Chain A
Amino acid sequence: QKEVEQDPGPLSVPEGAIVSLNCTYSNSAFQYFMWYRQYSRKGPELLMYTYSSGNKEDGRFTAQVDKSSKYISLFIRDSQPSDSATYLCAMSGGYGQNFVFGPGTRLSVLP
């Protein structure tokens, strides 16, 4: 079993749809959870980070962490074509520790 699992997609949705992206993980030591957006041929851009369980909202983005289920989600409301990118989840046990990345989900938002 991989340490972090993520559906690679591709996921295609119409503009304005609510997008749900998910990752599952197996290491209960993970405490920090991140979502990155990566456009083609660019470095990943940090979108959201959360510590432990709970929800965090930032504009159209909401991140959820359920440590009991080892499951994290990123919701994108009112999706836009500019949201078309690969979304990577990442998690680590603490400061200075390397992150383990999911394989990424390719999202296409169609106008």
Chain B
Amino acid sequence: GAVVSQHPSWVICKSGTSVKIECRSLDFQATTMFWYRQFPKQSLMLMATSNEGSKATYEQGVEKDKFLINHASLTLSTLTVTSAHPEDSSFYICSACGTGDSGEQYFGPGTRLTVT
């Protein structure tokens, strides 16, 4: 199956700093990528839809200026958490749409962010 990677897998940062998370589709091109957030023992919550070459579409309640998404190429999308605070500590997961008509999503392994 298609492979999606994320980097870093785990990051600890101090409150007030910014953190960038990369999501790459390794063996296919993805015009659409999604960013999710997952709290412990809860399901994934969609944060935004990222389309290559255009601005991301954010879900209601997600701060655009805090969670900056850039989808610069067909294989790379980045999520930058700006001025991170402890409440931003979470598991961030990206997914990329396959090229098949079914539109199945392939998930990255996730990035655990801890803000101290």
Chain A contacts to B: CB under 8 angstroms: 32, 34, 36, 41-46, 49, 51, 88, 90, 92, 94-99, 101-104
Which of B42, B107, B112 contacts A46, CB < 8 Å?
A: B107
Verify if B101 is at the interface (C-beta below 8 Å from A): yes
Verify B49–A98 contact, CB threshold 8 A. yes
Verify if B102 is at the interface (C-beta below 8 Å from A): yes
Asked if A44 meets B107 with Cβ closer than 8 Å, knowing A88-B44, A98-B46, A101-B44, the reply is yes
Verify B32–A41 contact, CB threshold 8 A. no
Verify if B34 is at the interface (C-beta below 8 Å from A): yes
Asked if A41 meets B110 with Cβ closer than 8 Å, knowing A95-B97, A98-B46, A101-B43, the reply is yes
Complex CA distance for A32 and B49, rounded to whole angstroms: 18
Q: Say how far A29's CB is from chain B's closest CB, in angstroms.
A: 14
Verify if B28 is at the interface (C-beta below 8 Å from A): no
Asked if A51 meets B110 with Cβ closer than 8 Å, knowing A44-B93, A46-B1, the reply is no
Complex CA distance for A49 and B102, rounded to whole angstroms: 8
Verify A92–B1 contact, CB threshold 8 A. no
Q: Which residues of A contact B4 (CB under 8 A)?
A: 43
Known pairs A44-B107, A99-B46 / 18 extra A-B pairs, C-beta < 8 Å: A32-B102, A41-B110, A43-B93, A44-B44, A46-B1, A46-B104, A51-B102, A88-B43, A95-B97, A95-B103, A96-B51, A96-B97, A98-B49, A101-B44, A102-B43, A103-B42, A103-B43, A104-B43
Verify A41–B91 contact, CB threshold 8 A. yes
Complex CA distance for A31 and B44, rounded to whole angstroms: 20
CB closest chain-B residue, reference A94: B103
Q: Which residues of B contact A92 (CB under 8 A)?
A: 103
Complex CA distance for A104 and B46, rounded to whole angstroms: 15
Which of A43, A96, A102 contacts B107, CB < 8 Å?
A: A43
Complex CA distance for A102 and B42, rounded to whole angstroms: 10
Q: Which residues of B contact A32 (CB under 8 A)?
A: 102-104
Complex CA distance for A34 and B4, rounded to whole angstroms: 17
Complex CA distance for A88 and B36, rounded to whole angstroms: 14
